[in-house]
Amino acid sequence: MKSNILPKALTPGQAAARAGLSVSALHFYEREGLIHSWRTPGNQRRYDRAVLRRLGVIKTAQNLGIPLAEIREKLSALHPEDPPNKEQWADVASDWREDLSERIAKLTRLRDALDGCIGCGCLSVSKCPLYNPDDKAAQHGTGACYVESGGEPRDPGSA
């Protein structure tokens, strides 16, 4: 630690520590076009403090299972260095909000299904939604679709 005043630029180590990531991950994200840095005369990376927000968003989104490619796409709406303006950010955020809501709904449906299973001894084939593929799914070929409810079937190749 060299000082307590907020530095205007972050070294890789600082950025990594503050984002809770490894330096190699920062390199990786940069190669993948998710973040941006500039160099010192001695060729070392420096990051704008704004990178921390990007990293926060990246980490968070990843945590949700959103692949980096998709994160990059959403983030590409924001200028790589400039602080994003309100509109841009709002667009990204509301896009993700929808995504999030969908995921929440899906998990909630599943949890409810699981609740049913726990409570009712529904192993009797006819009621348990987790058991159901057995009886119903043969009709359209995909299993466990009760939890998808609107997702694309994703034909896995064989039949």
Residues binding a copy of itself (CB under 8 A) = 13, 16-23, 25, 49, 52-53, 55-57, 59-60, 63-65, 83-86, 89-90, 93-94, 96-97, 100-101, 103-104, 106-108, 110-111, 114-115, 117-118, 121, 123, 130-134, 137-138, 141-145, 147, 153-154, 156-159
Residue 76: CB minimum distance to a copy of itself, A: 17
Rounded Cα distance, 140 and 118, in Å: 27
Residue 103: CB minimum distance to DNA, A: 15
Residues 6+ apart with CB under 8 A from 132: 144, 146
Q: Is 52 in the site for DNA (CB under 7 A)?
A: no
Region for 5 from its dihedrals, namely left if φ exceeds 0, alpha if ψ lies in -120 to 50, beta otherwise:
beta
16-35: which residues touch DNA (CB under 7 A)?
16, 22-25, 27-29
CA atoms within 13 A on the CB side of 63: 6
List, in sequence order, every residue forming a beta bridge with 48; answer none if it has no partner.
Answer: 9
